[in-house]
Amino acid sequence: MTKIIRTVGIDPGPAQSAAVLIKDAGPMNSIYGPNAVIRKWLIGQREGLGQDDTLCLAIEWPAPFTVTPGNIIWMAMEIGRLIDCMDRQRLGGSFECWGFRRPTILAHLTGSSRAPKSACNEALRERFGRSKKVGAPMHGITNHKWDALAVAVVAQDALNGDQSLQPLDLTGVFPD
């Protein structure tokens, strides 16, 4: 049986988040909406995974100075809920949960940690193609989903052995 590796990238927010599921071929599914809806969507993404399969939850970890003090608390709570909804006790296979800061994502995709978001989006277009037609890998990728796709790609590259990437390991941050 072929080992399945699914990577879900999340661009978290205090009330709404974006999530993108990718496999090696590119984006497979994406969503943007209230965090409660994102949690239900995440639970659905773990279905079909066997004991030898891997699910990696990759979260764009917010820099504290980019978010207001009240929102950083809400974001931390929501990130905890997103991680917790994966129910590690009943999840077959291996589970990784990593955080990546924006400069790491930008540096990996564009070569510069200070690149504009448009350069990051262009690097993703180069990687997966420009077509946004139904069935194309980039179909449905808009707004916050670009950030979720970027963090998913960085995590996928780390899973595939890119030693230059040092994720924040969040797997044990929220114990069972």
Structural domain spans, the chain: 5-169
> Is residue 11 within 8 Å of residue 82, measured between CB atoms?
no
Q: Determine the length of the chain.
A: 176
Pick from 46, 44, 21, 23: which is nearest to 31 by CA? 21
Task: Tell me the C-alpha distance between 149 and 155, whole Å.
Answer: 10
Average pLDDT per run of 10 along the chain, which is 176 residues long?
76 90 79 93 77 83 69 77 68 76 93 94 91 82 93 90 79 54
Task: Tell me the C-alpha distance between 46 and 54, whole Å.
Answer: 9
pTM: 0.85
For position 149, what pLDDT does the model report? 95
For position 1, what pLDDT does the model report? 47
CATH dotted code for 5-169:
3.30.420.10
Task: Tell me the C-alpha distance between 127 and 153, whole Å.
Answer: 10
Give, to the nearest 10 degrees, the angle between helix 102-110 and helix 117-128. 50
**C-alpha 156: how far from chain center:** 9
Phi and psi at residue 95, to the nearest 5°: -130, 125
Exposure pattern of 96-130 as b/e (b: 16+ CB <10 Å)?
Answer: bbbbbbbebbbbbbbeeeebeeeebbebbeeebee
Task: Tell me the C-alpha distance between 7 and 172, whole Å.
Answer: 18
For position 159, what pLDDT does the model report? 84
